[in-house]
Chain A
Amino acid sequence: MSSLLSQLVVGLINGSFYALLSLGLAIIFGLLNVINFAHGALYMLGAFVAWGLLHYAGIGYWPALVISPIVVGLLGIVLERTLLQRLYRLDPLYNLLLTFGLALIIQGLFQIEFGSSGEAYEIPQPLKDYSLELGFMTLPAYRAWAMISSLVVYLATWYVTERTKLGSYLRAATENPGLVQAFGVNVPRMVTVTYGLGVALAAFAGVLDAPNVQVSPAMGADRIIVVFAVVVIGGMGSIMGAIVTGWGLGVVEGISKVVYPAASDTVVFALMALVLLVRPAGLFGKAP
């Protein structure tokens, strides 16, 4: 029983993380119709910027949590302006290939500079020395913080897209960009900002994860595959879908580790196949 409970907690923590990464992907897909294959590389970049801030400038974790998403988000805006924007008129496949290529280039450059083992990033104070005794397990305080802060971030994202004027423009532009443009809204600029925001979310996840795993060039490539499955199951472009599915899959994965450990690595993909068969648009997606 205690092992089931502890795997559930770990599942929730992993799930919150899946949700955070798939949130950025969903936002970008929703407005840009771009499957952002560079998401994993930008998440890695977020972690490396945090490491670099500490290593070269002595700037610690807490400021990095804000600075790194801004830096990487700006880079995202540059990428969107200079590269992605040129391909919107073509088949979405071209942007998929472009972002995939970008991911390989970014990862390759970091591999040359930092090697495959990467760099260690310590858990920040005051969380480092604390852990919560839950009776059935010891929960490191940092993991609890990571879960809560990602919860706050996606609640905020949901609020912005669903309850503000900016969000309503955004949703309208997703439906019919031409019409929104006719009302005098600068759609291309909104697209650029949205891409920057989605990328910033990836970088935020990177900083959040840096103390948990070794900060290494391949960290994004390893994680992004599951996250893509989350987005597909949740429904491409659905923010609520990304959040709910992220948590759900984390928990399913956790339970499978107790019930039948050998399946835990594949259960996510088995579910994806199942969902695609039954509801091709995903659990929360709208059929085209």
Chain B
Amino acid sequence: MLRHLPKRIADRSMVVTLCAAALCSAACKKDPPKVVIGVLSDMSGLYADLAGKGSVVAAQMAVDDFGGTVAGMPVEVISADHQNKPDVGSSVVREWYDTKNVDVIVDVPTSSVALAVSSVTQDKNKVFLGSGPGSSDLTGAKCSPNTIHWTYDTWALANATGREIVKNGGDTWFFLTADYAFGAALQRDVTKVVEASGGKVLGEAKHQINATDFSSLLLQAQNSKAKIVGLANAGGDTINSIKQAAQFGIVSKGQKLASLLVFISDINALGLETAQGLTLSEAFYWDRDDQTRAWAQKFAAKHNGAMPTMVQAGVYSSVLHYLKAVAELKSAKDGKAVVAKMEAMPTDDPLFGKGTIDANGRKRHSMYVYEVKTPAESKAKWDYYKLIREVPADQAFRAPADSGCPLIKK
């Protein structure tokens, strides 16, 4: 009996060693370091054309243009659908951060989802570069040292489109508002512009995201006798509101539509016959100069011939600037440090030109007010805009001191 003891112990220790080795092969083996970019977007819903797969294409183009590696680490792009639901978005993001080693999340249209992603990102000390969302709260009361709001926001839209319409005599407004974070922020920011110039808001009608029938809301707008019917919605909702407004004779009876957030994909879907004459603002238009045209042609070739929206262009620009910052730091692990580096470096890319990032995370560049061409003026598909005016970068976005962001020391 005793004779066998040492052998038994030896057997056991052998088993323990084997177990440890097996465990180690799972946990101890270090993956070679890499940088993972997660594109979180609406892949199948009403915002899929303005962001969606095109945003994944844009992110990959930025990685390719940067050379595919940063500070010796390969860069990987993954993507997921958040279905415009904050709970779905935050659970994808948690899984990405905890198990997929994602370092940065980009795009995220739908402000309610973006606000949730921003909060998880801050908890995990990663980076969130929002190109798709609109709510100015992302750099206002709910700003974060881990978030940069890249392309546009509701304040900038109010300041560009809203101001332009008020300037041309639109002093009474009625809002058709998408009933979630974005719609509320847009209506609030435009109301400030209208009231500051002596105008009045006569009423509002809210609708759920992804509504199909706007006729009863449009009738309320008509009954309000407001000069301007402001559309505080986006994507498919804006398309259907504009289409049905034409049907109910809103414009032909003397009221004017203010489409506060319209993307070029919406104009393409509506057709110029219906969309002509709309005033709108964008941070990017593919046909602005030689550089934007060259990039857009490359993009379209990879995206079924569709020209990029400002959101997709913003994804490209934000990923490029992120990679520059990671190259300087030689690491992507500390989210706060990466964002601080991005804010310290001036931005420069072929799509948005030179720009800066404010301390509240607001990226600053020019906004452009456009008018939609008539079918006769348009020479080709996607030739849709004529420039009314450029709002220079220093005026296009809210001053950090007015943002109410706790990160700004007064």
Contact = CB atoms under 8 A, between A and B. Distances in A.
B216 A214 contact: no
A175 interface: no
B269 A137 contact: no
Contact of B45 (A13, A116, A122, A131): A116
B215 A143 contact: yes
A262 interface: yes
Nearest to A6: B219
Interface in B25-71: 42, 44-50, 52
Contacts, number: 102
Contacts of A30: none
Contact of B210 (A138, A222, A257): A222
A213 B212 contact: yes
B266 interface: yes
A240 to B, nearest CB: 25
Interface in A207-228: 212-214, 216, 218-219, 222-223
A257 B236 CA distance: 22
A261 B205 contact: yes
Interface centre among A116, A123, A142 (most CB of B within 10 A): A116
A155 to B, nearest CB: 24
Contact of B243 (A14, A111, A120): A120
A264 B216 CA distance: 11
Interface in B206-257: 206, 208, 210-213, 215-216, 219-220, 222-223, 235-236, 239-240, 243-244, 247-249, 253
A168 B42 CA distance: 49
B95 interface: no
B245 to A, nearest CB: 11
Contact of A219 (B47, B212, B216, B248): B212
Given A214-B236, A218-B45, A7 B216 contact: yes
A140 interface: yes
Contacts of A80: none
Contacts of A118: 236, 239, 269
A216 B48 CA distance: 12
Contact of B216 (A138, A222, A254): A254
B219 A120 contact: no
Nearest first, the 6 A-B pairs at minimum CB distance are: A117-B269, A116-B48, A117-B49, A120-B271, A115-B49, A10-B216
18 contacts: A2-B223, A14-B213, A108-B44, A111-B44, A116-B47, A118-B236, A118-B269, A119-B269, A120-B273, A138-B249, A143-B247, A212-B243, A214-B270, A222-B210, A222-B211, A257-B216, A261-B205, A261-B206
Given A140-B249, A218-B46, 19 more contacts: A6-B216, A6-B223, A7-B219, A11-B216, A111-B44, A111-B48, A115-B49, A115-B306, A116-B48, A117-B235, A117-B269, A120-B271, A140-B247, A214-B239, A218-B45, A218-B210, A223-B212, A257-B220, A265-B208
Interface of A: 2-3, 6-7, 10-11, 13-14, 108, 111, 115-120, 122-123, 131, 137-138, 140, 142-143, 212-214, 216, 218-219, 222-223, 254, 257, 261-262, 264-265
